[in-house]
Structure 1
Amino acid sequence: MSDSPLRQARWRDPDPTRCVGWLPTGRVTLADFQRRIGAWQACLDTLAEPGRCYALHDRDPLVFASALLALWERGDSALLPADDRPETLAGVDALTRARLGDVPGGHRPSTGAAPRWGTLSAERTALWLYTSGSTGAAKRIPKSFAQLDAELATHRDLWPLEGRLTISQVSHQHIYGLLFAILRPLVEAAPMAGALCRYPETLHAWLAALDETSQTVLISAPPPLERLPETLDWPRVRQRLAAVYSSGAPLPAAAGRRTQRLLDAPVRELYGSSDTGGIAWRGVPRQDDAWTPLPGIAVRADRDDDHLWLRSPYLDSRDWQRQADRIREAGDGRFQLLGRADRIAKVGGKRLSLTAMDRALEAADGVRRARTVVLPEPSGRLGAIVQLDPAGIPIEHGARRQRIAALRERLARAFEPTVIPRAWRFVETWPVNAQGKLTVERVERLFRDRLDHRQPRWLGVEASADGCCHVTLEVPERLAHLAGHFPGRPVVPGVVMIQWTCDLAREHLGVTGAFSRLERVKFPQLLPPGERVTLALEWHGDMQRLDFRLSGRHGCHASGRMHFRAGDPS
């Protein structure tokens, strides 16, 4: 097989009946897929001459893939924003934005004439990725066809798809999802699922809908793997799953073993970044935390400060390049990750290793994971995000104060009082995005109530396949709405709980339209400051109705129905 799998362009094959996309409701053949490419090219022809750069974002894998190939075959390139939120698009630097020619929003052609095939030269820039790295500032990463080819050939040789269906739970706007969920199926002539599989219930249903002889691979990340429920009948479907891949963040060893037990398939983790491409991999179960470099990758540790030095065919330069991660060599070419060396902050005029503070917190009883961050506010103080064992989660004001005092006492043994975190967020599930990243946006969301004293303390959200979500909240002790309600025994007013419900439904369920009316509203229990509660939201889009229930350790604090007027501005 060619060492340039991408430039071999298997999507040009003359086999019209080959399956390119699959869903339980039907298949997309290669002939259908080629017509989609042609339709995109016809659309692009109306916008500009070839040789442009276009922003490309679409959650549908087949729409995304056909648009990307239309660009490449026409002589254009693509820029892949991480998502399509206005804040993300606004973060693209002005120079780049001025050069983009965006396909009209909502235009997703499905049929068209035969596509035109071009030339995919090795050194031509295929696309740009955006990454925030460790700073939060957007950084543009170019990828040539040669770089993508080198990585695709490595993965193909290590773990060939051999015609298996690819099911993805991660975004293809990032390098891992792009390579494993989109480009590998295209270059290895294997089918891909026609939609993202965000929920375990959907994964189970899709596996059950496959022919008993069909085989699949799952492209996933730590968050969905950690949430696999024991209650689904995995033994009935898992014989159709050949392998599981995880990337974006380290998969906890216990979660890896549990995934392998439930799905009965090899679990492989990949380590890398948008800048570097893939660097190393490891399997589950593992005897240690060491990573094995991918073929062709050379890794060494700096003698002075343990920085990772990397030499890779996936980079523009073949020279050794220094990375922000720190490693310890483990023999046989393998290495262990020690964390990022750039997590240094100046707090109260003093330089501080945030990684060292994280480790001190993680050594405390009941702490699973911890991350200290510089608060997104002018104070320059630190906040701490701490994942606790479920039994250790504080659910009221007194327990929370005791937990904070114990952790502060532990830190005081090694750090000066002025640098110890001032704000604490205790979570049961690590608050990462779909790619397994604790992003700048997630950190801002966790501490937003410090800047707006009308807001509840947001501690994470869990969504389900049926359109419901559960938001974990705490009532801040300094909530502005507590003033005067009531003296001597402050509680959250009912109208405030209703406003929180409305705002969070718009944020997490995409509810739109103007508020219309309430039904069956009840406030059975008072809600005092410091309480930890769960807001259950269920949106019925056909009726423009939101069902909600806010409950905690004493039972239900608020419940009812909220109606919206379709088409009205929010």
Structure 2
Amino acid sequence: MSDPRNLLTLLSAPSGCADERPFAWRDGRALSWDYFLAQAAAWRDMLARQPGSRFALYSSDSAHFASILFGAWQAGKTVYLPGDVLPATCANLDALVDGYLGEFPPQYAPLTIAATSEQPIKHGFKALQPDFPGLMIFTSGSTGEPQAVPKFLSQLATEVATLEQLFGERIGDAGIFATVSHQHIYGLLFKVLWPVSQRRAIHAQQINYLEELQAAGRSFVLISSPAHLKRLPAELASTQNASSLAAMRAIFSSGGPLPPEVAAEAGRLLGSVPIEVYGSSETGGVAWRQRSSDDDSWQVMPAIAWRVAAGQELLEIRSPHLPDMEWYAMADQVQALDQRRFRLQGRVDRIVKVEEKRISLDALERQLKAQAAVADAKVLLLDQSASQPRQRIAAFVVLSALGSQILAAQGKLALNRQLRDGMAHAVEPVALPRSWRYLEALPFNSQGKTTRADLLALLESPEAPVAIKRPILPATRLLEQEPLRVLLELAVPADLLYFDGHFAEAPILPGVVQVDWAVSYGREYFALAPQFLGMQALKFQRVITPGMVVQLELQHDLQKSSLSFRMFSAAGQHAGGRIAFGGAHVSG
């Protein structure tokens, strides 16, 4: 029979193989390999009757997506993969495709199939041709404008084979969980094409919170991104989760380099330092690493030739993951370490000129994020315009709890000045940001990336307040009261204003609101000093969602002039920290 580990001959292998592992899991139910074959055959037969050769596919369910994708390829159709089904995306697709598959709005009349049986039938699948243009994917890059990137099946098959060569023995027969979408090349390869070609079970639903890994049970692999790994809840390392995490074979991350502290914390909480994959939509995978304390280098993948171009020290590659074997120049500067390893030095497209000075936007972001008031930051160079005749740097800053308190107490101009002063020792005066936006969170697309277009859109919209000076307080019940301690029960309204936009699909209570609630109730029950001095040991460990009931414990330390708070529920601890105050005490 044909080798089922070859992506191009996957479906042409007969069913009924000795391997009886499921094709996928959905809501705890195993979906058989015969189910997959029957679904793919039904999609093939329906699409073979359709005119046109280009079809857009969007499905949030990985099992459903895989069945449609392989059925479309068997029918000789090129599949266009949008990252979303927003009106602008669909409008752009309408000029490119002959039909729609999956979860598109009704006005686009997405095609469907009748229900199919899981019983094995003679499907008559054929081996796929390497030179068939199987995919058209879209990448926004740093500009936000969608760029179409074609992919031949030979490129995808070679990359799947590379992944198996590098990591197959390590992950064995583990199932696949993912926090990323398969509508982009990283998720497509790691959570669909690679596992399905190796008969590893995929989990149909994308997970939104890493706490959901507690239900994994069987051995598994996590496909994630920096956007998720930066927000790991501390409870993942608890004793009750130890058995689940022990079943994790590996964690993969792509979409940008993991900061060393994030990689180390993921290793501590999850028991495995993430394997990072470096590449792009255009190039596919280029290199990988698994950080150690003394090594942050990247190792080039097999079959990829590379060199460092003179002048700007840019990485150039020649790869079977590309459509041809010409040298391809990437936008990353590198330092060669030996024949197979290099160190990333920053992107050349993030080196800009301001008044004839060469400025590294990456370096500006590092200086901002080194300050205690900043949790995360991005900077952009804004071009000249009629209203702004000079180029200027714009900073988009996610504040820490300390930063939020400074903003609330002293105002935006004072905080702008403080952050600029904190950068001045290492940054040319002309490079100091002139425009500032303070955000509760950076905007991320489904790839876990923050695009230039998304940031520019924030400048064009009215600025939303970040710090809440007069917080909207939830319904409260006093459970216990002592001279220096109170225990309150808070009923968090499902329609609370602070849930709006944070986030649309899975709203959570912002951390700055939780801190403001602690301070507000602290001032109600205790004689706190009037001046905020700072915060220590602040942790947000478990999200608070609409409609939850939580308990808030407050303790006032008169000697240290501090207020300790702890939010918890039956699910565990949600947040906690200590707030320091100074100045003359308020008479109580």
Check whether TM > 0.5: yes
Contact 1:52 1:101 in 2 (8 A): no
Count of residues in Structure 1 that have an aligned counterpart in Structure 2 = 482
Q: CA 1:325/1:200 → structure 2, altered by over 3 Å: closer, same or farther?
A: same
Deviates more, 1:393-402 or 1:349-358: 349-358
Quick check: 2:499–2:546 contact (8 Å CA) kept in 1?
Answer: no
Could you say which residue in structure 1 is the equivalent of 2:59?
A: 58
Aligned ranges for residues 93-242 of structure 1 at < 5 Å? 95-97=95-97, 99-100=98-99, 104-105=109-110, 107=112, 110-111=115-116, 115-160=123-168, 161-207=171-217, 210=218, 215-232=219-236, 233-242=240-249
1:9 maps to 10
> Cα gap change, 1:196/1:420 in structure 2, threshold over 3 Å: closer, same or farther?
closer
Q: In the alignment, does 2:37 pair up with 1:34?
A: yes
TM-score by length of 2: 0.71
TM superposition shift of 1:136: 1.8
* Corresponding residue for residue 378 of structure 2: 371
Which moves more between the two structures, 323-332 or 166-175? Answer: 323-332
Letter in 2 for 1:248: G
1: CA distance, partners of 2:503 / 2:374: 32
1:329 to 318, 323, 336: 336
CA–CA distance in structure 1, aligned partners of residues 151 and 27 of structure 2: 34
Q: Matched residues in 2 for 1:88 and 1:257: separation?
A: 38
Kept after mapping to 1: 8 A contact 2:142/2:451: no
Q: 1:296, CA displacement in angstroms? A: 1.3
> 2:262 & 2:355 partners in 1: Cα distance?
38
Corresponding residue number in structure 1 for 2:421: 409
Alignment-derived partner of residue 84 in structure 2? 83
**AA aligned opposite 1:55:** A
- TM-score (normalised: structure 1): 0.73
Deviation track 1:65-120 (CA, whole Å, cap 9, x = no partner) reads: 0000110111111010112222333344x7524x4555634847542686452341
Which runs of 5 or more structure 2 residues have no equivalent in the other structure?
A: 103-108, 470-494, 508-519, 523-539, 551-561, 564-588
Match of 2:266 among 253, 259, 267: 259
Letter in 2 for 1:192: I
Alpha carbons of 1:249 and 1:100: their partners in 2 closer, same or farther (altered >3 Å)? same
Deviations along 1:460-515, whole A, 9 cap, x unmatched?
xxxxxxxxxxxxx3479xxxxxxxxxxxxxxxxxxxxx9966964894459xxxxx
1:34·1:114 contact (CA, 8 Å) conserved in 2? no
Please name the residue that 2:473 is paired with. none
> Structure 1 residues 348-357 or 33-42, which shifts more?
348-357
**What amino acid maps onto 1:403 in structure 2?**
L
Larger Rg: 2
Provide the residue aligned with 2:302 in structure 1: 295
- Secondary structure at 2:9 match in 1: coil
Matched to 1:70, the amino acid is G
Q: Which residue of 2 aligns with 1:436?
A: 448
Given the superposition, is the C-alpha separation of residues 341 and 368 from structure 1 closer, same or farther in structure 2, using an over 3 Å criterion?
farther
Tell me how far 1:294 sits from its aligned partner.
0.7
Q: 1:332 to 1:114 in 2, by over 3 A?
A: same
**How far is 1:350 from its partner?**
7.9
| Residues 1:247 and 2:254 aligned together | yes
For residue 555 of structure 2, what is the aligned residue in structure 1?
none
Aligned counterparts of 2:32 and 2:4: Cα–Cα separation in 1: 26
Asked if structure 2 preserves the Cα contact closer than 8 Å seen for 1:383 and 1:421, the reply is yes
Q: 2:571 maps to what in 1?
A: none
Contact 1:57-1:64 at 8 Å conserved across structures: yes
SS in 2 for 1:151: helix
For residues 134 and 298 of structure 2, what CA distance do their matches in structure 1 show?
29
In structure 2, the CA distance between the partners of 1:323 and 1:262, relative to structure 1 (3 Å rule), is same
Aligned partners of 1:38 and 1:114 also within 8 Å: no
Q: In the TM superposition, what is the alpha-carbon distance from 1:330 to its structure 2 partner?
A: 2.4
- Distance across 1 between alignment mates of 2:179 and 2:498: 28
Structure 1 SS opposite 2:235: coil
Identical aligned residues as a percent? 30
State the Cα RMSD in Å. Answer: 4.1
Structure 1 residues 205 and 383, CA, compared in 2 at 3 Å: closer, same or farther? same
User: 5+ residue gaps in structure 1?
Assistant: 458-472, 477-497, 511-522, 526-533, 541-545, 555-570
Contact 1:11 1:187 in 2 (8 A): no
Secondary structure of the residue aligned to 1:231 is: helix
- Structure 2 Cα separation of the partners of residues 422 and 28 of structure 1: 53
Moved more, 340-349 or 246-255: 340-349
CA-CA distance at 1:190 after TM superposition? 1.5
